[in-house]
Structure 1
Amino acid sequence: MARFNFKLRANRHELDEVDVVRRPAPPVHAVRVPRQWIVEERVISERLTEEGAPAFLRSPRLELFLLAVSHMVGSDTFYESAGERDSRFRELVRTVAVTEVDWFARFVPWLRTGAMLRSASIVAALEGAAAQVEAGIPGSRAVVDSALQRADEPGEAVAYWLGRHGRRLPKPVKRGVADAVRRLYTERSLLKYDTDTAAVRFGDVVELTHPVAVAPWQGDLFRHAVDRRHGRDRAVPESLAMVRARAELTALPVERRPEVTDPALLARAGMTWEALAGWRQSTMDAAAWESIIPSMGYLALLRNLRNFDAAGVGDDAAAAVAARLSDPGEVARSRALPMRFLSAYRSVRDARWAHPLERALQHALGNVPALDGRLLILVDTSGSMGARFSKDGTLRYWDAAAMFGLALAARAVAPTVVSFSVGSREFPPEPGESLLSALGRFRAGYFIGSGTETEKAVRRHYGGHDRVVILTDEQAAFHGARDVARSVPARVPVYTWNLAGYRLGHTPVGAGRHTFGGLSDAAFSMIPLVEAGDTDRWPF
């Protein structure tokens, strides 16, 4: 078997290097799926959750949706290894891409730009394209193009294909990647992403896919990328002013480079903070950070708060960063998931960041619905929910569940928040408390650990509520109840958010019982959609 190492980065987390093994394509099963996004499921008596409770098998389309929005390629969960989940994801993609062509064509671009998941969308687009090419189904070109939204992603897509399917790129894949190249390859993106460490360079992609330039300058850029790839010592074309400016900076002696602190000069050379750190070949001190902060993107600022503090960045520069972090327009344009703000908050020590991060988090949760009536929110704090949600270990699955549960509570008229595992505890609200403060209080005293007694928690705390929300990995323990929500009247909607995306569910899905994956703003918008009776719509 051929093996090819490549690296994919999710929008939420940096992923470690993953080994991808080329295998024969899994069989495409003939599956008939209803054209509605809330799909009834049947009880499979011999199926059990990992804790021994009866489980419910999902339809391929629903299973794929749930797994995709809660799955990071190459990431382990408590009950499933990374390899098992990756394999299940690919098999589901290949099935649904052939049996639900129109749905799949909407799903992949939403996964990238709505759910903001990079790795999952790239893998889905390419595996779906492979299955559709084999089945003679058109449309893969547009799907591949839609999944590639950042300039390093065409190279990542080609690297994945080479490692998984071999050297030959089918025309739909080749043309889809080429379409993305025409949109994404610029001078700035070349300087930022075309590095020696990339498995597939910009020049490789150009030579493999033959994109047609949108303007003469881009044609020059394509030729320069190929020259860079092959180490050809040719002059940079006049049309590439930013590349030429970078070359001039690179020619400076190393000992003079720390003297360059003019933000405008660095911006003209397309210098990023990562490039600046390598170019200086010295510690990023306060002057260096202050020279590059004006050029940094929103997410770069968010990731480097600890570095700013360690270098002693001045109050004026810090105030400018804080203003950008808390600006609602900046938050919206960044498309940052709420988890990023919580992770940043956990990583910093300086109190000057607390208020802007709190405001940014509130802006990021702006799509959480304001729900009327009485709302019961059950947050799973069992042992399996203590698994790492983020690679750096600062966030756990139950952190994510608690944050979104508390956000829902903050927007609801009459909420009841409960932490459950073996036993359960109601979380009392404090008037005027911020979301991050509430989360800190929850974290300090409401993680229970041990098993997952979902049915007992629902039965104990349900008291005429108008809605029930369960935030869990669905690995309920069996205590004689086939449906963990059996104590809730059928007329009362029960919403389960499955954070880990396991294959089997803890309750059937149908009228009044709904299961979703992940915790994005798009997912939360499903509550009013469902309650409006619009059951023939997905979030795309």
Structure 2
Amino acid sequence: MSRFNTRTARPAVKSPVTSTGETARTHQGGTGYLRDAKSELFLLAVSNFVGQDAFYEKGDDRDDRYERLVRKLAIEDPEWTAGLLKWLRGDGNMRTAALVGAAEFTAERLLQEAPGYSRQVIASVLQRPDEPGEMLGYWTSKYGRRLPKPVKRGIADAAQRLYSGKSLLKYDTASKGYRFGDVLNLVHAAPASDKPWQGELFQYALDRRHHPEDAVPPESNRTLTAHRELMTLPVDERRAVVTAPDGAERLAAAGMTWEALAGWLQGPMDAAAWEAIFPSMGVMALARNLRNFDEAGVSDAVAAQVAARFADAEQVARSRMFPFRWWAAYKHAPSLRWAHALEQALNHSLVNVPRLGGRTLILVDRSPSMFPGYGFSTPNKSDIPLAEQAAVFGAALAVRAEAPTLVEFGMRSQRVDVPRGGSVLRLIEKFGRIDGTDIPSAVNAHFDGHDRIVVVTDEQTRAGWFPSNAFGYGGMRETAIDDLVPKNVPVYMWNLAGYKAGAMPSGGRNRHCFGGLTDHAFRLVPLLERGSDACWPWEK
């Protein structure tokens, strides 16, 4: 009899999130599996909304763990850590965690007198024009007003890249502790060599900060001069600009944002105001204001133009919105006129979700720790709890799979019907809420010769207790997920919360763990099943 050359034989492949072989207990008392420092940092980084409590972990403890891991790896493997932080702010779209990580990376390398990397890391995580000021705010509040050279130079590099007339109007506001002028003063940023106009812009930013009554925008900057002209109009003439045939063009030319428009008009944002400003709004701003559009009575013609932008795959990609944000827009929009476009946008944002062949068991965690309340928030302190984020991914995978078995679980579990050709948004609405967390029992109840298992969860499971032998004799014993699934069947654990102990080993032997709120990791599933090793998302 052949022992190795069988139909179920698979090439041995590796994935980056790797267990050490050490065990601990999950927060629910099940056997947990510890990971190496890089894996722990990655899973925590992609789910860490700095300063916010998780269900099982206080925000301060969570932040301390994150900082310790960053500082450890800043010395042990600075190239890897620099790659993580750059990706985290880029494709990972995690702003605060990337900024804090870059600061702590730099602080540790300065402490250890380790040269290199720091300037580039600081610059790489500053991707929005208000972030040089954010970095200064974090650094000075923790380490004082003295700015080391890598911090100064990294921030100066970012200021050269990010500062423009439009960004100054949007982000250089009196509510900020560090204005553009303060940043320029403290880091001594010079104009970029390929942007000679920045000299006048930087001087104007300094004047706005120190002598606002005398600050005059440079004539060479059309956005700033157009904005100044609008600001000088009497209040009773401003609404006429909004309703004029060229109103939208004038507002766009002056760099007017929707946030600033209501203050400029000194009155309500009615339909005319929204219809004049919406061409200047980004896709994310549009998605967040659908309720305002409906309540103001924006016309169906304008609504169709907004919907067309949601249906545009390139615009959705540029927005870098998390997939669950499209579900949030759908959930909060009063009118159904947005529904189809939001379904299209969600599908565009989940473009990497594979169409898995064969039979796929998909387990979606709906336990209390995945919801806000109970005295704690979720790691993402938003109106979309982890349970709904998990449902977005589980539903998307199920709708695309050839033969899915979709299950929601807590202490008990139940199947969720997946209609052929159905809507992801409608499927998400079918999920409920279930007390307790028991992943092994859900696996035991629903695994039936599937080709693979995907679990979307925070991994904090209770122990699974099952008879110690097939006949039920000898009492009950604790049984982990790994014991319940044949070794030739891949199990993909999707970690949404970044806790230290995982629910199963990972990194090889058909046991793999992914993390984060984007669908990037779904690219790895087909790769692993084709017999190729998977690497970190910033590595090629």
Matches within 5 A, 1:338-417: 338-387=323-372, 394-417=383-406
Matches within 5 A, 1:383-462: 383-387=368-372, 394-442=383-431, 446-448=432-434, 450-462=435-447
* Structure 1 match to 2:45: 68
- Letter in structure 1 aligned against 2:22: V
> Which of residues 127, 146, 171 is equivalent to 1:193?
171
Q: Does 1:145 align with 2:130?
A: no
Matches within 5 A, 1:451-490: 451-478=436-463, 479=465, 480-481=477-478, 483-490=480-487
CA RMSD of aligned residues (A): 1.7
Are the equivalent residues in 2 in contact too, given 1:74–1:86 (CA < 8 A)?
Answer: yes
Q: Give the TM-score normalised by structure 2.
A: 0.89
Give the 3 Å change call, closer, same or farther, for CA 532–231 of structure 1 in structure 2.
farther
Taking the aligned partners of 2:153 and 2:276, their CA distance within structure 1 comes to 40
Deviation at 1:392, TM superposition (A): 7.5
* Structure 2 match to 1:320: 305
Are the equivalent residues in 2 in contact too, given 1:203–1:229 (CA < 8 A)?
Answer: yes
* Structure 2 match to 1:305: 290
Q: Does 1:184 align with 2:162?
A: yes
* Structure 2 match to 1:7: none
Deviation at 1:174, TM superposition (A): 1.2
- Letter in structure 1 aligned against 2:433: F
- Report which of the two structures shows the higher radius of gyration computed on alpha carbons: 2
Taking the aligned partners of 2:211 and 2:61, their CA distance within structure 1 comes to 40
Are the equivalent residues in 2 in contact too, given 1:484–1:506 (CA < 8 A)?
Answer: yes
Q: In structure 2, the residue corresponding to 1:200 is in which secondary structure?
A: coil
The total of aligned residue pairs comes to 500
Matches within 5 A, 1:105-124: 105-124=82-101
Deviation at 1:391, TM superposition (A): 6.8
* Structure 2 match to 1:535: 533
* Structure 2 match to 1:171: 149
Matches within 5 A, 1:267-306: 267-306=252-291
* Structure 1 match to 2:191: 213
Give the 3 Å change call, closer, same or farther, for CA 384–131 of structure 1 in structure 2.
same
Taking the aligned partners of 1:148 and 1:526, their CA distance within structure 2 comes to 28
Larger displacement relative to structure 2 (195-204 or 83-92): 83-92
Taking the aligned partners of 1:184 and 1:525, their CA distance within structure 2 comes to 31
Taking the aligned partners of 1:90 and 1:529, their CA distance within structure 2 comes to 32
* Structure 1 match to 2:235: 254
* Structure 2 match to 1:41: 20
Q: In structure 2, the residue corresponding to 1:41 is in which secondary structure?
A: strand
Deviation at 1:439, TM superposition (A): 1.1
Which runs of 5 or more residues in structure 1 are unaligned?
1-34
Are the equivalent residues in 2 in contact too, given 1:346–1:394 (CA < 8 A)?
Answer: no
Q: Give the TM-score normalised by structure 1.
A: 0.89
Identity over aligned pairs, percent? 49
Q: Does 1:239 align with 2:228?
A: no
Taking the aligned partners of 2:127 and 2:139, their CA distance within structure 1 comes to 17
Are the equivalent residues in 2 in contact too, given 1:53–1:482 (CA < 8 A)?
Answer: no
Deviation at 1:235, TM superposition (A): 2.7
Taking the aligned partners of 1:139 and 1:332, their CA distance within structure 2 comes to 30
Q: In structure 2, the residue corresponding to 1:455 is in which secondary structure?
A: helix
Give the 3 Å change call, closer, same or farther, for CA 309–400 of structure 1 in structure 2.
same
Are the equivalent residues in 1 in contact too, given 2:52–2:381 (CA < 8 A)?
Answer: no
Larger displacement relative to structure 2 (421-430 or 61-70): 421-430
Deviation at 1:226, TM superposition (A): 1.0
Deviation at 1:322, TM superposition (A): 1.1
Are the equivalent residues in 2 in contact too, given 1:473–1:501 (CA < 8 A)?
Answer: yes
> Which of residues 496, 518, 521 is equivalent to 2:519?
521
Which runs of 5 or more residues in structure 2 are unaligned?
1-13, 466-476
Q: Deviations over 1:98-146 (max 9, x none)?
A: 1111111211111111111111111111111111222213111111111
